[in-house]
Amino acid sequence: MREVTREEYQEFLKTHKEVIIEETPVKLVNWGKISLFEPKEFALEKTTVWSFENRGKWATHRGNYRANWAPEIPRNLILRYTNPGGLVLDQMVGSGTTLVECKLLGRDGVGVDINLDAIMVAWNRLDFTYAATNTVQKLYQGDARHLNLIEKESIDLIATHPPYANIVPFSKQKKIEGDLSQVRSIGEFIAGMREIANESFRVLKPGKHCAILVGDTHRHKHYVPIAYRVMETFLDVGFILREDVIKRQWHTQTMRGRWKESCDHNFLLTYHEHLFIFRKPDKNEKLSKFKESMKWH
């Protein structure tokens, strides 16, 4: 893990106007004066089904980083599970959606990504002035499985969004060692997620929350439950399941391509993802009453 400073980003900007993420150019934008710093309409989600058909575009949020999550997701998590001044970690930060929300909502943020180009996009999304809060956002190039520069029990909330195994490769053009979107099998992905679960448990403060959005797929016309297997790894390392939110998925590039295939071959398109929200037990907490929400044997 190594910190990628704002100065390094500014140097990078001198020679790069865009980066390529999975064959798609993502422009590094000069944001100028931003007029909208929060959603026009927003209410905290109250149920276990979340759906954002028209994802928000306030501040520097844009949907053009492959598979980035709607800003409404980290906004809900940050507002529900942290207080102003808290420290939020997204260890697969991609285009930095979570950290932009941290900056807007007055929380400090730490973002990690294996891909330096993603970090540059994240820096670019954070490259705007916002006088209403005073926060520190830090970005690291590194592997979510080994967060060696993050101290144990230092984080107030983890909000993260891994690749869904190798369904959408994030670095197809150049192979990046450790990129979990380039695994050869679901089993290899789950093994990586188990290490991420362990690291998440280590860095989170006792009693605090860890939220992770994961999707499933079909292979050979049969359902592949990636998300539940990921959930199990988090329960295995000691987390308690607080919520299982079903997030409605809207038409993505991948889905449109699969529409015809689905009609031809008679299987259902995957239209949901799971947002698991785990809680790390508090120090000396009696856990027997939560046993049905914990690892089962």
Ligand X SMILES: C[S@@+](CC[C@H](N)C(=O)[O-])C[C@H]1O[C@@H](n2cnc3c(N)ncnc32)[C@H](O)[C@@H]1O
| Site residues, ligand X (CB under 6 A) | 65, 67-69, 91-92, 94-95, 97, 112-115, 118, 143-145, 161-163, 170, 178-181
Tell the smallest beta-carbon distance from residue 72 to ligand X (Å).
Answer: 11
Tell the smallest beta-carbon distance from residue 275 to ligand X (Å).
Answer: 12
115 or 135: CB nearest ligand X: 115
CB 234 within 8 A of CB 200: yes
Per-residue tokens: 233: 């790894």
Sign of the dihedral through C-alpha 8, 9, 15, 21: positive
Tell the smallest beta-carbon distance from residue 140 to ligand X (Å).
Answer: 9
Cβ contacts of 162 within 8 Å, gap of 6 or more: 92, 144, 180, 193, 196, 212, 214, 230
56 or 162: CB nearest ligand X: 162
For residue 129, what are the CA distances in angstroms to 10, 20, 96? 15, 26, 16
* C-beta neighbour count of 253 within 10 angstroms: 11
212 or 240: CB nearest ligand X: 212
Tell the smallest beta-carbon distance from residue 65 to ligand X (Å).
Answer: 5
180 or 204: CB nearest ligand X: 180
Tell the smallest beta-carbon distance from residue 92 to ligand X (Å).
Answer: 3
Kindly report the backbone phi and psi dihedral angles of residue 280, in degrees, each rounded to the nearest multiple of 5, phi listed first. Answer: -85, 130
Question: In terms of C-beta density within 10 A (0-12 exposed, 13-18 middle, 19 or more buried), how is residue 43 classed?
Answer: exposed
**Distance separating alpha carbons of residues 122 and 106, to the nearest angstrom:** 17
Beta-bridged to residue 219, according to DSSP, are: 222
Per-residue tokens: 239: 């987390």
161 or 279: CB nearest ligand X: 161
Tell the smallest beta-carbon distance from residue 122 to ligand X (Å).
Answer: 7
189 or 240: CB nearest ligand X: 189
Tell the smallest beta-carbon distance from residue 210 to ligand X (Å).
Answer: 15
Task: Give the residue from 255, 280, 252 showing the smallest Cα distance to 69.
Answer: 252
For residue 39, what are the CA distances in angstroms to 46, 76, 191? 17, 12, 37
Residue whose C-beta lies closest to ligand X: 94
Angle at 262 between CA 259 and CA 267, to 5 degrees: 140
Cβ contacts of 273 within 8 Å, gap of 6 or more: 213, 214, 215, 216, 227, 246, 247, 249
Tell the smallest beta-carbon distance from residue 171 to ligand X (Å).
Answer: 6
55 or 258: CB nearest ligand X: 55
72 or 143: CB nearest ligand X: 143
